Amino acid sequence: MMVQVKRSDWIHSEKMVRSKHKTVKSGFVEKKKEPVVVTAPKAASKKKFLPFPSDSFRHINDNVHSQLYLYHPVDKIVDTTEFQRLRRLKQTGLTHLVYPNTEHSRFTHSLGVYCLALEFIRKLAENQPDLKITSRDILCVAIAGLCHDLGHGPFSHTYETLLPPGTTWKHEYGSTQILRRIMNKDHVKAAFEKYLNYDDDIDFICEMINPPKEFIKDGQWVLEGRPIEKSYLYGFISNVHDSFDVDKYDYLLRDSKSSAPICLSACSITRIRDNMRVGFDARLGYHRLMYATKVREELMNVAQTRMKLHDSCYQHQKVRACEYMLKKALDLINHTTKFYGDDNRSYTLKDAHKDVGAFLRTDDSVVSLIRGIHPTHPEGVQAMKILEDIECRRIPPLVGETDIAHGASLEDFQSYVLENISRVVDDSELEDFFVLEKYLHCGMGETHPLSKILQYNHKTLAVSELEPIENDINWQRIWLNGSPGVKKLMVYASYNASETLKEALYNAIKAYSEEHQTTSPAKRTPTKVIVEQSTSTACRNLMDEEGVDGPSAHQEQQPSSSRSQRSRRNAPIPKRFQEDGEPQLQTTPLTTRTRGVQKTFSKSRSGRPLRNKVSASLSAESESP
């Protein structure tokens, strides 16, 4: 016998089983001793999940987002050794050597991305209820934001430069591996099974963290976590379409606030969030996140902030030089460092990414391994010397930089420079320089991200009428004028390089720029160390020239009040204190002593002080080369 059960009856039923001998009981259907076959929609066959966000949460103060709410069961992920490792990874690598306040960690950044991811998707669900965003979708996006950086190595992106050429491993893939490790823990799984369709949703989270470049291949939707109808969910954490995502919003806000070379307003991010919608991209064949035309300037600010932060902070010339030095030190000790993996094998620092267990034992404390090497180890001694040079700021100076010529490579430029300086300097100095490449762009290389966004008319009243509009060609011509990506070549001399080599390197860069019509390098003169006289000594010398008696040895031992009274009675006015042609005012000299430095001022009877020519003269002398 076939019994049809409505969808509402299916959801509210207590329990339905097939039985031949017992009563089959549900909230709405009761039959005795007859087998029952229930047919229901496929979607209804899934179990009912608890809503998210839950009522249980942990409150966290944050210097960027003010307040964070870490909801259960997300806190179970945070309270694992794998996630706590992020506390020992600096967010910005070695930038703290130039900007000391940028010592925040990947841990705080990950919490910030989690906060923004949760805010963005909940706001979208509120603005477009027809999207039918579920609590599972919200939780998955929040977890992806929280765990997107689990795969970073020591000193963040610096670790990836240590890997051998040709290595395809990226930190995004490492993040998915570590996330699966966390989610397979018994206590974590027990907490999340009430909220997630476990295996399918974990696949979805990993796809958001490390999405493919193309979502459709050979006409087939290649992602497994969510169907094509919810393709827009893949744009929150790592947006491969236009690069605007919550990961970028948080690190730009956080890093610009701590380094302060440029400031990005949190109000701009809020406006972007409130004016974000979902629209169909006819070119790609699926739905994407789109933005109101009125927030184009905010999006432009985000793109420009990324480029400027890379120029003045992440790829600052001193930061890049320190990274170069640290890489040399880690290369020297690579074979002496051992990290044991889950397979009970040992891995070097460069190979640690091949085993999750070994990789999780690496963090910024790898520099302590260098300090712990026995002093008789020759490579360890060299590595320790490099660390001391970094700490004592014996850093290779930048000689000059220029743009790379079209179609040229770093190797071509190095050969050009080497050929030019070999005519001037000795062969022994030809290895006392190196060249680093600096690539600045807005997030998508040679493509400007604003040319890839979907826009909609924010004056449209009905949500159902929201459709993407064509990008204004004239607007793009005005706003996107110039190349969105610039490659620069930075030439460094060794710390103890001769002035002859530095001059030869500069001339080679200048000749290259003139020959290939690239940016001419700025002349970087060495900083001169000037030993200045103390202010008190300079004052005495100047007063001696003018015939003013300074304090005697006996006066130096007198209280300051006695010296001041004697100075008021006896000290004449220096001639240089009186301008030619000015009326000779009757004045009373006033002598003061500040921090052991004696200064003499002249004060007229009217109470208006005359010009202090002693301090003015000293200031002029200190400013002159």
Q: pTM to 2 decimals?
A: 0.77
- Greater pLDDT, 540 or 437: 437
Question: At residue 380, does pLDDT exceed 80?
Answer: yes
Residue 22 has pLDDT above 60, yes or no: no
DSSP state of 314: I
Query: Residue 34: pLDDT band by 50, 70, 90 thresholds?
Result: very low
In this structure, of 365-374, 382-391, 585-594, the range with the lowest mean pLDDT score is 585-594
In DSSP notation, 515-552 reads HHT-PPPPP-PPPP---PPPHHHHHHHHHHHTT-----
In this predicted structure, the answer to whether residue 170 has a pLDDT above a threshold of 90 is yes
Angle formed at CA 250 by CA 248 and CA 255, multiple of 5 degrees: 95
Residue-level pLDDT at 19? 37
Kindly state the DSSP code that residue 231 receives in the 8-state scheme.
G
Cα separation, 293 vs 185, in Å, equals 45
d(CA 316, CA 310): 7
In one-letter notation, the amino acid at residue 587 is T
**For residues 538-560, average pLDDT:** 49
Q: Which residues are 217's β-sheet partners?
A: 220
Can you give the pLDDT at residue 260? 80
Mean pLDDT of 53-60: 94
Q: Give the count of beta carbons closer than 10 Å to the beta carbon of residue 487.
A: 17
Whether 470 shows a pLDDT value over 90: the answer reads no
Least confident of 379-388, 523-532, 546-555: 546-555
How far apart are the C-alpha atoms of 26 and 10, rounded to whole Å?
9
Question: Is residue 568 over pLDDT 70?
Answer: no
**502 or 23: which leads in pLDDT:** 502
pLDDT-based confidence at residue 478 (cuts at 50, 70, 90): low
Q: Which two tokens stand for residue 442?
A: 């807005």
Q: Which stretches of 347-498 are DSSP H helices?
A: 356-359, 366-371, 378-391, 410-421, 473-479
Task: Tell me the two tokens of residue 166.
Answer: 């040709």
Q: How far apart are CA 277 and CA 285, in angstroms?
A: 17
Per-residue model confidence (pLDDT) at position 484: 75
Band of residue 567 on the pLDDT scale cut at 50, 70, 90: very low
* Model pLDDT, residue 212: 96
Please check the confidence at residue 420 and state whether its pLDDT lies above 80.
yes
Band of pLDDT at residue 377, cut at 50, 70 and 90: confident
Domains and CATH numbers, the chain: 2-45 (no CATH), 57-315 (1.10.3210.10), 560-570+586-625 (no CATH)
- What pairing do the DSSP bridges indicate for beta strands 433-441 and 276-281? unpaired
User: What pLDDT is recorded for position 438?
Assistant: 94
Higher pLDDT, 597 or 50: 50
Nearest to 201 by CA among 179, 173, 170, 229: 179
Distance, CA of 361 to CA of 349 (rounded, Å): 10
Helix (H) or strand (E) segment spanning residue 379? helix 378-391
At 461 the pLDDT is 57
Q: What is the C-alpha separation between 374 and 447, in angstroms, rounded?
A: 50
Residue 544 reports pLDDT greater than 70:
no
User: Is beta strand 339-340 parallel, antiparallel or unpaired with respect to 433-441?
Assistant: unpaired
Instruction: Looking at 193-316, list the stretches that DSSP marks H as alpha helix, in order from N- to C-terminal side.
Output: 198-209, 246-259, 266-274, 296-309
Instruction: Answer yes or no: is pLDDT of 463 > 50.
Output: yes
Cα–Cα distance between 394 and 396 in angstroms, integer? Answer: 7
3-state secondary structure of 399: strand
d(CA 453, CA 276): 11
Give 305 or 374, the one with higher predicted confidence: 305
Q: What is the mean pLDDT of residues 613-623?
A: 40
- What is the tens place of the pLDDT at every residue in 3-19? 443 433 433 333 333 33
Alpha-carbon torsion 368, 374, 380, 383, what sign?
positive
Q: What is the pLDDT confidence band of residue 555, given thresholds at 50, 70 and 90?
A: very low
**Hey, what are 482's tokens?**
């110039």
Q: pLDDT at position 155, please? A: 94
Question: Can you give the pLDDT at residue 458?
Answer: 84
Q: What is the mean pLDDT of the chain?
A: 82
- The helix/strand/coil state of 66 is strand
